[in-house]
Homo-oligomer: A and B are copies of this chain.
Amino acid sequence: MPRPPQQVPSVSTVARAAGVSRQTVSNVLNAPHVVHPDTRARVEAVIREVGYRPNRVARSLRTRSTHLIGYCVGGDNPLLDRFLHAMSTAAGQRGYHLVLFTAPPGADGLPAYEDLLARNTVDGFVLSETTVGDRRPAWLASRGVPFVAFGRPWSSDPAVDVGSWVDVDGAAGTAAATRHLYDLGHRRIGFVGWPAGSGSGDDRLRGWREECARLGLGEQPAAHGENGIEHGAALATTLLTAPEPPTALVCVSDVMALGAQQAARAAGRAVALVGFDDSPLAALPGIDLTSVRQPVERIGRDVVRLLLDQLGDGPVTAHTAVPDAQAGTAPDAGPDDRTGPPPDTRPDTGPAPQRLLLEPTLVPRLSSTHPTKEQP
């Protein structure tokens, strides 16, 4: 027996059933205030009854807005799961979705960005893993493409300092780490860092140095090298074998801290350690690394928020919500942000860029509080 057509309902279907025109149905969804309460109620009833949901594609074609956000996924990124979940949740709550794409590893994948734009696939981008010579921000800004970066441009060149971004205040993190160690009684607090010129590395170095000065500790020892467990171990050994060795080390990353931990254990020394990033390995028993945690969830949320503000949709996109579909958890801290430098008011290069510097939080573990316990 041939079942009834069971067409997927369209705006025309609803209009016919409710005895109104297409446009009125559209208005009920997109501009409810212009339609009479009575008709609105009638149309909404029909919508619910037939389970109508507007076709995103047709809407996109007409409005020239896909409600999709492009995000380029590169190779390894241990925090990606948390970051994507946060962004996806924030976007979904306002009717947007993330679209993933890949770009060739070495070169900046500008062609991929251009392709998505030329084909009308996305409305804007979230950038991450921004590097020093990154051409993407300037390129996007010059074309008026909305975007928000996770990470500062790390350049004083005003031509590069364009667009909105959200970043973690690395200096504040290492400062907090230094203070933490000071409060535990340490007075010789060294630093294990990256080579100069790496943006975030310099930032974290500065936080440590400035906090040492603030605490009246004077000049403290530092050593620098590439990221890597073995390098961290070597650098820590250098520091620990010098005269007046530090009793505590602030490290520019968890990986470096892990190397320092191994060096200290091998040398039979009790050294208080703090890492940076709070990667999953920091929490492992037997490692128990005190670390500076990046508020990844909050970053993801804010990055999306800034982008959607640029895309200039009202705070809540008109879309018949699916009941209890997008709930999402937000295990982050409260409003602990700190706005960066005031938005410079240039002539009129689009909307004023927004910048957010978020405060990381120190997660204390045994490596700083009971360093001697670490040695089996």
- Which residues of A line the B interface, CB within 8 A? 8, 51, 53-58, 60-61, 66, 68, 73-78, 80-82, 84-85, 88-89, 92, 97-105, 109, 111-112, 114-115, 118-121, 229-230, 258, 262, 265-266, 280-281, 284-286, 322-329, 376
Does the CB pair A327–B92 fall under 8 Å? no
User: Which among B97, B328, B376 is the interface contact of A99 at CB below 8 angstroms?
Assistant: B97
Q: Provide the residues of chain B in CB contact with A75, threshold 8 Å.
A: 81, 85, 329
Q: Provide the residues of chain B in CB contact with A61, threshold 8 Å.
A: 55, 57-58, 61
Provide a sorted-by-A list of 19 A–B residue pairs whose CB atoms are within 8 angstroms: A55-B61, A55-B120, A57-B57, A74-B85, A75-B85, A78-B81, A84-B84, A88-B102, A92-B101, A97-B101, A102-B328, A104-B327, A109-B325, A111-B324, A114-B322, A229-B284, A230-B285, A262-B286, A281-B284
Q: Provide the residues of chain B in CB contact with A258, threshold 8 Å.
A: 284, 286
Interface centre among A56, A57, A68, A265 (most CB of B within 10 A): A57
Each complex incorporates copies of this chain amounting to 2
Complex Cα distance A286/B85, Å? 32
Interface centre among A102, A109, A284 (most CB of B within 10 A): A102
* A4 CB to nearest chain B CB (Å): 17
Does the CB pair A81–B76 fall under 8 Å? yes
Q: Provide the residues of chain B in CB contact with A78, threshold 8 Å.
A: 78, 81, 280
Does the CB pair B284–A326 fall under 8 Å? no
Q: Knowing A57-B120, A111-B322, say if A100 contacts B100 (CB, 8 Å).
A: yes
Q: Provide the residues of chain B in CB contact with A111, threshold 8 Å.
A: 322-325
Q: Knowing A266-B376, A284-B281, A324-B111, say if A88 contacts B100 (CB, 8 Å).
A: yes
* A344 CB to nearest chain B CB (Å): 26
Q: Provide the residues of chain B in CB contact with A284, threshold 8 Å.
A: 229, 258, 281
Q: Knowing A111-B322, A285-B262, A324-B111, say if A100 contacts B101 (CB, 8 Å).
A: no
Given contacts A98-B99, A115-B325, 18 further A-B contacts (CB under 8 A): A8-B118, A51-B118, A53-B115, A55-B120, A56-B119, A73-B81, A74-B85, A75-B81, A78-B78, A84-B100, A88-B101, A97-B121, A102-B328, A104-B326, A109-B325, A111-B325, A281-B281, A376-B376
Beta-carbon nearest neighbor of A51 in chain B: B118
Q: Provide the residues of chain B in CB contact with A89, threshold 8 Å.
A: 102
Does the CB pair A84–B88 fall under 8 Å? no
Complex Cα distance A39/B41, Å? 56
Q: Provide the residues of chain B in CB contact with A60, threshold 8 Å.
A: 57
Complex Cα distance A115/B60, Å? 16
* A302 CB to nearest chain B CB (Å): 17
